[in-house]
Structure 1
Amino acid sequence: MLPSTLAQDTIIALATASGHGAIAIIRLSGPEAVSIVNGVFKGKNLQAQPSHTLHFGTIRDEDKILDEVVVSLFKAPASYTKEDVVEVSCHGSPYITEQLLKLFLRKGARLAEPGEFTKRAFLNGQFDLAQAEAVADLIASDSALTHQVAMKQMRGGFSQEIKALRVQLIHFASMVELELDFSEEDVEFADRSALRRLITTLQQLITDLLKSFEMGNVLKNGVPTVIAGKPNAGKSTLLNALLREEKAIVSDIPGTTRDVIEDEAQLGGIRFRFIDTAGLRDTQDTVEAIGVARTKQQLQKASLVLYLFDVTTTLPEQLREELAALQLPQVPYLLIANKKDLATPAQLKSFAGFEHLVYLSAGTKEGLKELEQSLLEVVNANEALTGDRTIVTNLRHFQSLQKTNDALQEVLHGLDTGLTGDWLAADIRRCLFYLGEITGDITTDDLLDNIFTKFCIGK
């Protein structure tokens, strides 16, 4: 339930983006939402209408008509916040929305704080905290995969896994604590071997979730993909081809690119951040040398590396030397034999023994589709898009899972050392606490404020 101070308030906000548009929506939620709108609405008596209905009419300030509107009614508890909710669809003029907001505020509503509608939904039991956070992720999603992950979490997929873990732990915690009531009789209600098996299973599940965060973080923020190679290998041409625009200057003069050029593109529902870099070579040019140093820095931060070489001028032995000198970090990479349209069959065949090799002509875009498919295969896009695997994308969830895993390890250590039931119960309670932080079974005002202030005002 909402705190009493909040439960008495009716909040209001613009639920659509500010600025000119065909339609704008003003949202109200709270005990007086229907009566406030009904008091200025010329049409049907809204208070007498059933939930989930639409009503056409005008909004008037005394005798002045402000706009013709459609009012949507969602009566408690069958609404997003589980309170009475009214949405007023008006014409998308900033002047009109401002006049309507001022009118509703005069009639008793107050401006909503960031995320307050979703915060009320959480506090009223509409969904748990992880699902509430997924609402913000869904709004921010900009690719098929981030949308899919957010939808799964908003519909409770991740929460169900966490709650299942807690239920099993709660059972053992209760059994261990029951033993404390019979400490003088030296009995064990909790099967220690079964508890050990449970802890081991939970650790494996949590480890899988922790491992998924690396993928989830990359997918949420885009896959940092560095395009590297010698000067004139065709890196800038490839960047332009991948972006479908002339982003980088292309020239036959070696060393044209002297700084990092970065832009994003979506391939197969996944967002890639392509980073074009200065050509790797020893140079006396001060500015170009800085660019080469930045290239090496980007390589250390990359999640994926595309190493380009000119297949018409490079020998296999030279490529091996370049790769050895480059010392690619332990990240996935693709070797791209560029300018295939200009190469002889013998030149193309000479590189057949190299792994992770793609033949391409960045200039004519021949082989570009094959390269894009290879990129998706490297990041396991098909598995991520079609699998049922839960992917952790939220740093707060990741940190709580880490703490849970550490507490589980303490439980195992306690079992190994014959720790008494009271200390064992305390470690299990720590596990329950950290898991509860994820779903909101355990919350603080500071935690909720930190989460919901990152939302937009109307959500």
Structure 2
Amino acid sequence: MLGKLTGFDDTIVAPATAAGVGAIAVIRLSGNRAYDICNALFPAKDLQRQASHTLHFGSIVAAGKLIDEVVVSLYKGPRSYTGEDVIEISCHGSPYIQQQIIDATIQAGARLAKPGEFTQRAFLNGKLDLTQAESVADLIASNSAASHQTAMQQMRGGFSKELHALREQLITFSALIELELDFSQEDVEFADRTRLYALVTNATGVLQHLIDSFRMGNVIKNGVNTAIVGKPNAGKSTLLNTLLNENRAIVSEIAGTTRDTIEEILNIEGILFRLIDTAGIRESLDSIESIGVQRTMEKIKEAGVVVYLFDVNELTATDIRNQVAAFKADNINYLLVGNKTDILGETTVEIKFAGITDMLFISAKNHAHIQDLKDALVHKVLSGDINTEDTIITNARHHTALQEVLKSLHDVKQGMDNGLPGDLLALDIRRCLHYLGEITGEVTNEDRLDYIFSKFCIGK
């Protein structure tokens, strides 16, 4: 196992709780000297003689000085998060007390952990595979119900199980094909080509589904930039305030009131929409307003969704068709929203814009049909219902490796269609195995691991 090659035989320490003042804080140690180090600071009892998964109250004393009264939690390896001996010291949440305890453990022989080192040791000791370890960081960073559910599903190993099953079957076929090479003079076939072809066909479909899920996964994990654009006085700032249910943007009857972009986050059904209220699009001699319009054009290009808000009393169906043509020419993902229907009347509005599809009519001022707009936004970015029980790819590294696996599987399938010999098929299968192993960590190197875990917070 890679963990044995790295030689992690020292003991690390770090705060496991967030920085700042709180009621309590947790200091975590992991390593083969965790018990010896804590025994030197915890005179109440011999921790080595205590059972695993137990709590003990006492004092931390260093150089004859009482630091704090604490509760010590014991987890003897391998029944711990890292697979090593782990001790967690729950102390009062003063940053000064935390630092005093950490300094005392370092004086007793521990060293300060690097970012993600506890989880890295869990991976190296076989407690987690690499996809599960990475999902720990995603879980910590989750900021919506959807991102939380997706991270939990991956941490439980849902994604890993699919990849492990495929990898095991491919390993079997690879071994059988390579065995055929040892008997090449006897013209025997150990690997059932029909079963291999069926496996590759099925795996291709599964992998394509996983790759396609990355778009949804990226939305769940990072949210989606949503630019609210339109002509001046279309009601963009009013709509932003209505969606947020607060007076975030200044609203007035004076066209061009919004001079710069205003950004806020709205959670709709577990998806984070980064709403951007932009300056109205028009030609202006006002240099400040012109800068705002330029920034609006930049936000349109960056947005995942553009909400084109227009005043149904001012624009015509021809105006909207021209705008749609411009959006399509620039390949912009847009949503047409007609505002101020309370003035003209909904029936009249529908007749006025008859024949134009994918359009919503609202009154931002009166909060009319705002829920319909929210539903349309979710549908626009997800292209359907979200089901976080399915395996969803949220990690760009996984997405890239899966694309390489899929490419290799296509090569295997094409090779069988063309009757390629076993040695060439074996090369393509080994390439599949390599990229599958990269995802789960069965094939990796220490530099890559250090890079991955360096993105974790210290203490996890």
Comparing 135-144 with 53-62, which one deviates more in the overlay?
53-62
3-state secondary structure, aligned to 2:420: coil
What does residue 373 of structure 1 align with? 375
- Match for 1:87: what amino acid? E
* Partner Cα separation in structure 2 for residue 223 and residue 345 of structure 1: 30
What does residue 453 of structure 1 align with? 454
Matching of residues 382-393 of structure 1 within 5 Å: 383-384=385-386, 386=387, 388-393=389-394
Return the offset for 1:425.
Answer: 0.6
* Partner Cα separation in structure 1 for residue 207 and residue 6 of structure 2: 38
What does residue 397 of structure 2 align with? 396
CA 1:236–1:151 in 2, change beyond 3 Å: closer, same or farther?
A: same
Return the offset for 1:414.
Answer: 2.4
Comparing 186-195 with 112-121, which one deviates more in the overlay?
186-195
- Match for 2:125: what amino acid? N
Comparing 81-90 with 232-241, which one deviates more in the overlay?
232-241
Comparing 360-369 with 100-109, which one deviates more in the overlay?
360-369
1:270-308 Cα offsets, whole Å, 9 max, x none, are: 111112223233445555444434433433333222111
CA 1:117–1:419 in 2, change beyond 3 Å: closer, same or farther?
A: same
- Match for 2:95: what amino acid? P
What does residue 248 of structure 2 align with? 247
What does residue 61 of structure 2 align with? 60
- Match for 2:247: what amino acid? E
CA 1:47–1:297 in 2, change beyond 3 Å: closer, same or farther?
A: same
What does residue 184 of structure 2 align with? 183
Return the offset for 1:7.
Answer: 3.8
Matching of residues 183-222 of structure 1 within 5 Å: 183-222=184-223
Matching of residues 116-135 of structure 1 within 5 Å: 116-135=117-136
- 8 Å contact 2:150–2:389 — kept in the other structure? no
1:193-228 Cα offsets, whole Å, 9 max, x none, are: 332332222222111111111111122111121212
Matching of residues 62-101 of structure 1 within 5 Å: 62-101=63-102
What does residue 426 of structure 2 align with? 425
What does residue 350 of structure 2 align with? 349
- Match for 1:364: what amino acid? N
What does residue 9 of structure 2 align with? 8
Comparing 234-243 with 176-185, which one deviates more in the overlay?
234-243
* Partner Cα separation in structure 2 for residue 192 and residue 256 of structure 1: 70
TM-score by length of 1: 0.93
What does residue 165 of structure 1 align with? 166
1:383-413 Cα offsets, whole Å, 9 max, x none, are: 32x4532111101101111111121222233
* Partner Cα separation in structure 2 for residue 432 and residue 346 of structure 1: 61
CA 1:329–1:10 in 2, change beyond 3 Å: closer, same or farther?
A: same
* Partner Cα separation in structure 2 for residue 392 and residue 126 of structure 1: 21
Answering whether residue 42 of structure 2 is matched by residue 41 of structure 1, we say yes
Comparing 105-114 with 254-263, which one deviates more in the overlay?
254-263
3-state secondary structure, aligned to 1:88: strand
3-state secondary structure, aligned to 1:434: helix
CA 1:181–1:327 in 2, change beyond 3 Å: closer, same or farther?
A: closer
- Give the aligned CA root-mean-square deviation in angstroms: 2.2
Identity %: 55
* Partner Cα separation in structure 2 for residue 216 and residue 5 of structure 1: 33
3-state secondary structure, aligned to 2:253: coil
* Partner Cα separation in structure 2 for residue 396 and residue 86 of structure 1: 33
- 8 Å contact 2:379–2:385 — kept in the other structure? no
- Match for 2:337: what amino acid? I
Return the offset for 1:449.
Answer: 0.6
Return the offset for 1:336.
Answer: 1.7
- Match for 2:376: what amino acid? S
* Partner Cα separation in structure 1 for residue 416 and residue 346 of structure 2: 66
Matching of residues 101-116 of structure 1 within 5 Å: 101-116=102-117
* Partner Cα separation in structure 2 for residue 412 and residue 288 of structure 1: 58
3-state secondary structure, aligned to 1:66: strand
Comparing 6-15 with 116-125, which one deviates more in the overlay?
6-15
Answering whether residue 354 of structure 2 is matched by residue 359 of structure 1, we say no
* Partner Cα separation in structure 1 for residue 221 and residue 187 of structure 2: 52
1:357-387 Cα offsets, whole Å, 9 max, x none, are: 3332222333323322332233349832x45
Return the offset for 1:187.
Answer: 1.8
- Match for 1:53: what amino acid? T
What does residue 279 of structure 1 align with? 280
3-state secondary structure, aligned to 2:385: helix
- Match for 1:398: what amino acid? H
3-state secondary structure, aligned to 1:21: coil
- 8 Å contact 2:116–2:457 — kept in the other structure? yes
Matching of residues 283-322 of structure 1 within 5 Å: 283-322=284-323
- Match for 2:362: what amino acid? L
- 8 Å contact 1:270–1:381 — kept in the other structure? no
Return the offset for 1:163.
Answer: 0.9
- 8 Å contact 1:131–1:154 — kept in the other structure? yes
- 8 Å contact 1:333–1:356 — kept in the other structure? no
- 8 Å contact 1:146–1:220 — kept in the other structure? yes
* Partner Cα separation in structure 1 for residue 338 and residue 108 of structure 2: 69
- 8 Å contact 1:311–1:347 — kept in the other structure? no
Answering whether residue 265 of structure 2 is matched by residue 267 of structure 1, we say no
Comparing 327-336 with 107-116, which one deviates more in the overlay?
327-336
- Match for 2:191: what amino acid? A
- 8 Å contact 1:11–1:109 — kept in the other structure? yes
* Partner Cα separation in structure 1 for residue 255 and residue 281 of structure 2: 11
3-state secondary structure, aligned to 1:71: strand
What does residue 156 of structure 1 align with? 157
1:76-135 Cα offsets, whole Å, 9 max, x none, are: 111101111110000111111111111111111111111110011011110100000000
1:330-376 Cα offsets, whole Å, 9 max, x none, are: 56533222123333354333246543333322223333233223322
- 8 Å contact 1:14–1:26 — kept in the other structure? yes
- 8 Å contact 2:44–2:58 — kept in the other structure? yes
3-state secondary structure, aligned to 1:56: strand
3-state secondary structure, aligned to 2:171: helix
